[in-house]
Structure 1
Amino acid sequence: MSITIPAPADFHVHLRQGEVSELIVPHVRKGGFDLAYVMPNLKPPITSTEQALKYKADLEKIDPSVEYLMTLYLSPELTPDEIRKAAAAGVIGVKSYPRGVTTNSDGGIESYETYYPIFATMEEVGMVLNLHGEVPSDASANVHVLNAEPTFLPHLFKIHEAFPKLRIVLEHATTRAAVEAVKKCGPTVGCSITAHHLDLIVDDWAGQSWNFCKPVAKYPDDREALRAVVREGHPRFFLGSDSAPHPPEAKSTSSPTHACAAGVYTSPILLPLVAHLLESFGALDKLEGFVSTNGRNFYQRPFSSQKMGRESVTLKKVINKRVDEQYFDGKSTLVPFWAGRELNWEIA
């Protein structure tokens, strides 16, 4: 049995910087993808057109066969003029990180209203606003990792109401509330879903650092809501892997002052993993829409824009294909999601 998927696209991926990128970047293609929507939370974050284009050039030196769509980090340095400049240079979106909620988000925002002039310009030039849909933990308000996403959703509604023509993506949804919120908003609001959130629940990361990510996986009913919207084939829900590699020592250890790093690494096994998961909950017939069509339609990146790489990818059914325990290129080591476990699909 085999399945051919036209030009899969990953609309949320972390490719890091420096030496470790030489190991990470080729894994986009290894995992079945030739388009990567690249996150800007580097050190320092990507806040200008020049930085975005330099980063893109660095990635293209490592693997020129992948189409990299670049983003800016929402920060006080951004101006409407910079947004216009970025859009003219081909930068696709702006990513919003609430302060301190995930990796390299210490410079994240505290007030969305401050950025309304930015959002208005983005709406004007057709850029996408990517929202990390959580609020910071606050013990006094009983806000924590398990309810940070539902608590954020009023911000989504408010921004959408103020800028109804602005394309907004609620990133890496993890809750039934988020799915329902995106459906309620209408055609200019989309939603990315990761492979690992289609698999994990809270019990899978509590005490298991390799499955720990932000936002954390939630309850079985929340996972079922994610699976159901994929089975439905809803056109505004699509794959954004949030593949976020960290060195093994940052994932496997913690101390009273240093928690383990948040993020799981799915890029090298991504398309087979998604096929395996969708088959497990009766949605294999929706694979093409979820990994190819829906995201491209929302981001207005038609298949005809694919100027490099493969026009399609073929998966074949296998029995118990074991995931590598780790990847090592002589300089860096990374451990993938599902290391040592078995998949029933592989790239032909």
Structure 2
Amino acid sequence: MTTLTLHSPLDMHLHLRQDAMLKAVAPLSAETFAGAVIMPNLVPPVDSLERLKWYREEILAAAGREDFAPYMTLFFRAYTREELEAAKPHIIGIKLYPAGITTNSEGGVSQIDQAEPTMRLMEELGIPLMIHGESNGFVMDREAEFLTIYRRLAERFPRLKIVMEHITTAAALVLLNEFENLHATVTVQHLIITLDDVAGGMLNPHLFCKPIAKRPEDREALAHAAVTAHPKLCLGTDSAPHPQHKKECCGCAAGVFTAPIALQLLAGLFDEHDALDRLQAFVSDNARRIYDVTPPAKAVTLAKKPFTIPASYGEVVPMWAGREIPWSVVGA
């Protein structure tokens, strides 16, 4: 039986929600990941040091494991130098959402120019900026339209570490290679599916997310970058749990839940490309270097052994529920 041991896997983009949902899903990430970058788009958002410290304690209590590190982020707003200096020891970065672009982003940035004074302070203080990079244009063009903003920010703030979150297009990879200060995360689903899987036949609400899955050539470009261990790219699952009734309804919530199956799916993808030896870099080593973090020690062993994805995890339906996949987690 083929086996693979990963050392301190990291999820560099994760939604844990709050209250009952937090308690339900945090243990599922903590079981197989040594740490995760936690998204701040709660209601109300995590936009103060006091609220951030409270949320971190809630996460640790829900996770129930000492070998899981929540890397905290603040929701982007206009911050003073004093606020950023106080927050810096407690955060891995600040997350910018364009206003209204995704779940709980109504309080996001409506005009990028107005955000630049805070970005200048972040550059001076060495605080990374993570961005949900979509415009409000036609849904398939939103990331492509936002690339001009990424370019402008990379040029205006050359010492600011900018992370293009959950990229979905081949064009984003081209831009990634142009600027030293640009980095990126990519989700499991965008390495595997296309828009055809979401809406080509019967609509599959459990594959609907923002940014939406794109064309086959985009998927192939992203998968190639991942399996060749592109040094500026790392895993960020964007695992986003919603109750089943909020997915299987009119007005379906955006988000794909992959946290408990991410490593198994990635092992299958990398195995298909004869690249299992590069999975460690994609799920851990690149992120450690990009963010200069030292995660808790954790060894996660996977085996090429069939695993049937559960129909649900509590009230949350995962990607590909009920499907048999070729890899399993056998030790963590």
TM-score, normalization: structure 1? 0.90
Number of the residue aligned with 1:213: 209
Gaps of at least 5 residues in structure 2 are none
Q: Quick one: which amino acid aligns to residue 210 of structure 2?
A: K
1:266-345 equivalences in 2 (<5 Å): 266-301=258-293, 305-307=294-296, 310-318=297-305, 320-328=306-314, 333-345=315-327
Q: CA deviation at 1:280?
A: 2.6
Deviation at 1:158, TM superposition (A): 0.8
Contact 2:109 / 2:115 at 8 angstroms: preserved in 1?
no
Inter-CA distance 80–112: structure 2 relative to 1 (3 Å threshold): farther
What does the per-residue CA deviation read over 1:243-297, in whole Å, with 9 as the maximum and x for residues that have no partner?
A: 000010110111xxxx100000001112111111222344323201100101111
Q: Matches of 1:24 and 1:48 in 2, distance apart?
A: 24
Give me the whole-angstrom Cα distance separating, in 2, the residues matched to 1:81 and 1:204.
47
Q: Whole-Å Cα distance in 2 between the matches of residues 135 and 22 of structure 1?
A: 33
Structure 1 equivalent of residue 43 of structure 2: 43
Q: Per the alignment, in what secondary structure is the counterpart of residue 146 of structure 1?
A: helix
3-state DSSP of counterpart to 2:178? helix
1:57-96 aligned within 5 A:
57-63=57-63, 64-65=65-66, 66-76=68-78, 78-88=79-89, 90-96=90-96
**Aligned partners of 2:226 and 2:233 also within 8 Å:** yes
CA–CA distance in structure 2, aligned partners of residues 276 and 262 of structure 1: 25
* 1:223-258 residue CA offsets vs partner (Å, 9 max, x unmatched): 01101111322100110000000010110111xxxx
Q: Distance in 1 between matches of 2:227 and 2:261?
A: 21
Question: Superposition pairs for residues 96-111 of structure 1, below 5 Å?
Answer: 96-111=96-111
Q: Contact 2:227–2:279 (CA<8 Å) still a contact in 1? A: no
Task: State the match for 2:167 in structure 1.
Answer: 173
Unaligned runs of 5+ in 1: 137-142
Q: 1:39, 1:95 within 8 Å by CA — same for their partners in 2?
A: yes
The answer to whether the 8 Å contact 1:227/1:281 transfers is no
Alpha-carbon distance, 1:317 to partner: 1.3
> Is 1:157–2:157 an aligned residue pair?
no
- SS of the residue 1:234 aligns to: coil
Equivalences, count: 324
Q: Match of 1:140?
A: none
Equivalent position amino acid for 1:67 in 2: A
Q: Deviations 1:31-72 (Å, cap 9, x if unpaired)?
A: x20201000000000111111111001111112421000001
- Of 239, 242, 246, the residue aligned with 2:238 is 242
For residues 177 and 81 of structure 2, the distance between their equivalents in structure 1, rounded to whole angstroms, comes to: 29
- Deviation of 1:344 after TM superposition, in Å, equals 1.4
Q: Quick check: 1:49–1:91 contact (8 Å CA) kept in 2?
A: no
**Residue in 2 that maps onto 1:226:** 222
Counterpart-to-counterpart distance in 2, 1:113 and 1:201: 33
**Superposed CA offset, 1:52-99 (max 9, x none):** 1110011111124210000011124x32321111103x2111101111
Q: Name the structure 2 match of 1:113.
A: 113
User: CA RMSD of the aligned region, Å?
Assistant: 1.2
> In structure 1, what residue type is equivalent to 2:110?
E
Shift of 1:125: 2.0
1:70 partner SS: strand
Within 2, Cα distance between the matches of 1:224 and 1:283? 15
> Quick one: distance in 1 between partners of 2:227 and 2:133?
23
- Counterpart of 1:3 in structure 2 is 4
Shift of 1:326: 0.7
Length-normalised TM-score, structure 2? 0.95
- Equivalent pair of 1:84/1:121 in contact (CA under 8 Å): no
Tell me the residue number matched to 1:202.
195
The C-alpha deviation readout for 1:141-200, integer Å capped at 9, x for no partner, is xx21100000000110111111111111000000011111111112x2110010011111
Query: How far does residue 130 in structure 1 lie from its aligned partner after superposition?
Result: 0.3
Counterpart amino acid of 1:322?
T
Within 2, Cα distance between the matches of 1:100 and 1:176? Answer: 25
